[in-house]
Amino acid sequence: MTNSLAGRVAPKSELIDVAQLIGSYYELSIDADIEAERVAFGTSGHRGNALVKSFNEAHVMAITQAVCEFKKKMGYDGVIFVAKDTHALSTVAQMTVMRVCVANGVYAAISKDDNYTPTPLVSFAILEHNKKSEKKADGIVITPSHNPPADGGFKYNPPNGGPADTDVTSLIEKRANEILKNSLKDVKIVSYDEALSSKFLSEFDFITPYVEALGEIVDMNSIQKSNLKIAADALGGSAIAVYEKIKSHYKLDMDVINPYVDYTFSFMTLDHDGKIRMDCSSPYSMASVLSLKDSYDLSVANDTDADRHGIVTPKAGLINPNHYLSVAIWYLFKYRKNFTKDLKVGKTLVSSSMIEHVCRSLDREVCEVPVGFKWFVDGLYDGSLGFGGEESAGASFLRFDASVWSTDKDGIIMTLLAAEIMAVTGKDIADIYKEFEDEFGKSYYDRIDAPASLEQKKILKTLKAEFINIETLAGEKIEKILSNAPGNGAEIGGLKIVTKNGWVAMRPSGTEDIYKIYAESFISREHLTQLQKEAQTIMQELFKSI
């Protein structure tokens, strides 16, 4: 049920007490015997909240020590780029990271002038460094992504520039929890003053090289010449300074909205559940950006670490992420002359099947993988994937010459690509997508969440296709039941059931006590609802019987 305050500016009663939050980060003691207080890497690193003892100094010390040990074990002897977003816990967590890295003799680089740094700029910096040096660099990004203001997060990116795979995060998670269990005795740490004056700490300009290179991946000249009036809202996140640099460097008609950092995010409108969440794919969180749609040719937004994108146009308002992915893929593979026929399109199992229809029309092969951008890293890195995108509004693609740009989600190039598409085609993004509907049929797509205990989530994560003993779904014969992704054979961590005109997928959340049901119908909204209902029934029966 949608909260009555959804889409409205957050009342003061909903704002965090920053002093209390920071105090909890330093002062609350962790009990490693309690599962909720241990380190747990989901699809996007470890996330938590200092107030409930799931993201505190002890966690950051333990994870950073584990990363330093892993880095040395692997022989990654280059610098580790350390970035933070604009959540309140990110700054204090970065201070902790610096102290541990320096104590371990690991060279760490933080942003020049203590700037906030988007995730894609870290991926870009790692890849650019490793092109020129045999000393392999890697990265730490301190961000809980679009999560509420009280949350904190920690991501590790190895030398391939992308989010670490489970074989890496499982090792870091295990070692970090051992360190917590041993009361942090294995942590090497110096004072903050010592870290600041150490030879192992340096400053790095993440923004300038990235912005100056944008012309290698987006047609910035066409955007400039088009005179499109653009609004860019970083939702109080780390992309504020990046957009300001883009505006000045390329002389764009761009207004940077809300160009300030506020740890309480008091300017945000509440999400569907009444929480402050910087989710650029939510119409509720994006209400203030949506209010700009008639004043600009294009309004764009990112979450706090700018790895996700939100696109608003005058005709459609907030573009559904799946719709924009379909349009972006069509445009790139139609207009990029160096995107040869052997380049594949990467999509997650829970992204819209409209992408598959578009790719078939372009004679392009689709590589369908489980949820998580980590599954696109190798393909983007070696140039076999021209594009990799997630239904949750995260994507990246190759440069004009089909070489790698970033191997993590890049919400900034995705917002700029929307401007390029409109500049080159002269069409609204919504008009292009409508052409797909006219040709392939209308898609009805939605995701709903249902409560799930820890035990139920574990059951769902290990489900196999043979556990499903039904032949039809929402009135159609079942064609496939998948527990492994067809693109790479990896386990889904859930199930996907496919019929001729629809599908459902069920998987547990990595961060909340829920499981997610994704569904899509090419028949009707009523058919979509039936798919969702039957998926819930399937899960309830499975939970009873297993």
Q: What is the separation of C-alpha 475 from the centre of its chain, rounded to a whole number of angstroms?
A: 35
Which residue ranges does the chain devote to CATH 3.40.120.10? 12-209
What strands lie across the sheet with 366-369, from one edge to the other? 366-369, 344-348, 385-390, 394-397
3-state secondary structure of 516: strand
pLDDT, residue 455, reads: 82
Q: Which of 96, 89, 101 is nearest to 60 (CA)?
A: 96
pLDDT, residue 420, reads: 98
Question: Class assignment of domain 12-209?
Answer: alpha beta
pLDDT, residue 394, reads: 96
pLDDT, residue 545, reads: 67
Q: What is the distance between the alpha carbons of residues 301 and 279, in angstroms, rounded to a whole number?
A: 9
pLDDT, residue 61, reads: 98
Question: Class assignment of domain 444-545?
Answer: alpha beta
Which parts of the chain register pLDDT below 50? none
Degrees to nearest 5, angle at CA 376 with 372 and 382: 160
Which residue ranges does the chain devote to CATH 3.30.310.50? 444-545
In this structure, are residues 368 and 486 in contact, taking their beta carbons and an 8 Å threshold? yes
pLDDT, residue 511, reads: 62
Q: Which of 246, 220, 223 is nearest to 121 (CA)?
A: 246
The model's pTM: 0.96
**Residue 446 amino acid letter:** D
**57-80 residue pLDDT tens:** 999 999 999 999 999 999 999 999
**136-181 residue pLDDT tens:** 999 999 999 999 999 999 999 999 999 999 899 999 999 999 999 9
pLDDT, residue 264, reads: 98
Q: Residues with catalytic annotation?
A: 145
Q: What is the distance between the alpha carbons of residues 34 and 32, in angstroms, rounded to a whole number?
A: 5
Q: What is the distance between the alpha carbons of residues 476 and 15, in angstroms, rounded to a whole number?
A: 48
pLDDT, residue 300, reads: 98
Q: What is the DSSP letter of 269?
A: B
Q: Which of 290, 282, 284 is nearest to 257 (CA)?
A: 290
pLDDT, residue 42, reads: 81
